Structure 1
Amino acid sequence: MVTFDAWFDPGQREPLAVSTPTEVDELLDRMVAEAESPEVEVGLVALIDHRDEDGWSILQFGVRAAATTCGFVGYAGKDETSVISTSGGTSPEPVAYDYQSHEREVPSNAEISMVDVRQAVHDYVASGGVRPTGVRWREVFTCCVIALCIPPTGCGSRGVPVGGKLLESVPGAGVGYSAGDERRRSNFGSALWILCVVSWSRHY
């Protein structure tokens, strides 16, 4: 059984261990409950990953309360093309999601049903980190920066220092702090997070 590291809470210093269907459901149920709270106006994102001597893979997934609760799934792995889920829509609008107090926009046509999001996360964990096959994917060009913010340098309200520059300076990054989101206000402590600058391309 493979144990994955999961990151969701703002200021999280240590990963959550996820390896069983029960642990997957507990994480997703927390996300749904928080996303459906009246105080939360954006979608919420979590990330789970696995790394060993043979390689690595990451599954990033979001949950958003809309007319029907929905979400998205994104996958990246060693020597693999990065992909994001797609509903097949052709006229996407940006939708706001939040990952550990950093806002990112996801195209609306990446959103799929919550049933499909849940199944994708279960499949990823059960397979030991293989890209889920039950999702329709869209290939993406991805520039990813993974940063560990360690106090006292910490994270500011507009980005984190990487090589002497703020991530907000990356063209098209579209990442910032949502000051109006009380749930995600404060506590930028030690937090692993992923920034993806993406350009959507073909379906498959």
Structure 2
Amino acid sequence: MNPTSHQGLFITLEGIDGAGKTTQFEAVVAALRAAGRRVTATREPGGTPLGERIREILLAEPMTTTTEALLMFAARQEHVLRVIEPALLQGHDVVCDRFTDATLAYQGAGKGIPQDRLQTLARWVHPGLKPDFTFLIDVPAEVAARRLQTQQRQPDRFERESLEFFARVRQQYLHLAASEPARWVVIDGTQGLDQVRQDVIQNLRKKLQLHD
């Protein structure tokens, strides 16, 4: 898919586990719908019945890092072909909780798979498709870890990773954001929840020229 060929906008949200990304994802979806735009809200890994089954495996089962990355892209292939590209072509805005930037950060910087290898897979799985706009909800690894400790459920396989792992992931996210400043907006996720949401929505309105 040529990125200029679709009518809808592809918006993604990224951040380390515990950053508060999913809460802001919901705010973005609500703001777009309130503005009268058609929205497809989805997530990765997942987004399709097969993708959700792969997600369950990824979050729970031990596996090699290579297997993990390949499963991420297998789920992504289904997601792109069955959900993301059809919605964009129909004029929907697609808002996705994580996309390939997460793989570059987690499986790449976090777990050591070379970036060029992951980029090759990305070009194979979704040639020409990349987000139009990406929010990075940024918090230090220590802040995210404290937040995860307050959750009323057992942490998944990724949430149990070390502080050092999440520090590497965060730095890669910041590197990606700095390399494409026209696409990324970095939001200080250490602020109060309302302030983070306000910053996200203000930047969304500016980017899309939405009105209150």
TM bin (shorter chain): under 0.3
Q: Which protein has the bigger strand share?
A: 1
Q: Which has the higher contact order (CA 8 A, sep 6+)?
A: 2
TM-score (norm 1): 0.25
TM-score (norm 2): 0.25
Q: Which protein has the bigger helix share?
A: 2
